[in-house]
Chains A and B, each alone.
Chain A
Amino acid sequence: GESVGLHLPTLSVQEGDNSIINCAYSNSASDYFIWYKQESGKGPQFIIDIRSNMDKRQGQRVTVLLNKTVKHLSLQIAATQPGDSAVYFCAENVMYSGGGADGLTFGKGTHLIIQP
């Protein structure tokens, strides 16, 4: 089946630098994408989302870019801080059989490591 994947399992950046986490998706029918942050021992925490009719969306220190032509999604974190250390997941909206609730298909995650 179609799935969401990530290019890099681990990303190490210097504190204060910008981080870019990439994600490739293959389901052309997906129309809603979400980035989650997961810290050790915690559940996924919503960061930012984007609809397929948008190319870019900005939040506080984060920006999500969507390139539908190549089915690529990225999360940019500005001025990375130690608290940004976590695993980041992209997820896409998929309708499961039976209709109704929108289950999410998750990528396997990228571990962001912040070096002092």
Chain B
Amino acid sequence: IAGITQAPTSQILAAGRRMTLRCTQDMRHNAMYWYRQDLGLGLRLIHYSNTAGTTGKGEVPDGYSVSRANTDDFPLTLASAVPSQTSVYFCASSDSGRMWQPQHFGDGTRLSIL
């Protein structure tokens, strides 16, 4: 089934550790996104990528980095995790080469920083 795969599904991490959240899509979408979802705050954009080789900052980029080496993969890295990064992280993709296309989401990674 085509879609977005995120890994791991959940993780408990000690503060100060480095962590990479993985995201893979098989829809050949050129644009990909990372959001975090916190209770009472909805989903907020962390980073995005228009196409392989390019990335950009969203609303809440501090403490996170991304890379886009190819079309299918868009990993999100926390270089040194802090408790405020405890959240549910969603990866999304869209066919931004066509106008008015919605974003499609994975099922998220639940991350707890202790």
What residues make up the interface of A, taking CB atoms closer than 8 Å to B?
32, 34, 36, 41-46, 49, 51, 89, 91, 96-98, 100-104, 106-109
In the complex, which residue of chain A has the Cβ closest to the Cβ of B9? A41
B residues contacting A by CB (< 8 A) are 4, 31, 33, 40-45, 48-50, 54, 56-59, 90, 92, 94, 96, 100, 102-108
Q: Which 9 A-B pairs have the closest CB atoms?
A: A43-B105, A100-B50, A106-B42, A103-B45, A101-B48, A98-B56, A106-B43, A108-B42, A101-B31
A101 with B105: CB separation less than 8 A = no
Q: Which residues of B contact A45 (CB under 8 A)?
A: 105
- Contact of A46 (CB < 8 Å), options: B48, B96, B102: B102
B interface SS class: strand
- Return chain B residues, CB-CB under 8 Å to A46: 102-104
- In the complex, number of A-B residue pairs with CB atoms less than 8 Å apart: 71
Q: How far is the CB of B91 from chain A (nearest CB, A)?
A: 8
In the complex, 29 of the A-B residue pairs with CB atoms within 8 angstroms, ordered by the A residue number, are A34-B102, A36-B105, A42-B107, A43-B90, A43-B107, A43-B108, A44-B43, A44-B105, A45-B105, A46-B102, A46-B104, A89-B42, A89-B43, A96-B45, A96-B56, A96-B59, A98-B56, A100-B31, A100-B48, A101-B50, A103-B33, A103-B48, A103-B58, A103-B59, A104-B33, A104-B103, A106-B44, A107-B42, A108-B40
Q: Quick one: closest A residue to B107, CB to CB? A: A43
Cβ–Cβ < 8 Å partners of A51 in chain B: 100
A96 pairs with B48, CB closer than 8 A: yes
Task: Give the Cβ gap from A2 to chain B, nearest Cβ, in Å.
Answer: 12
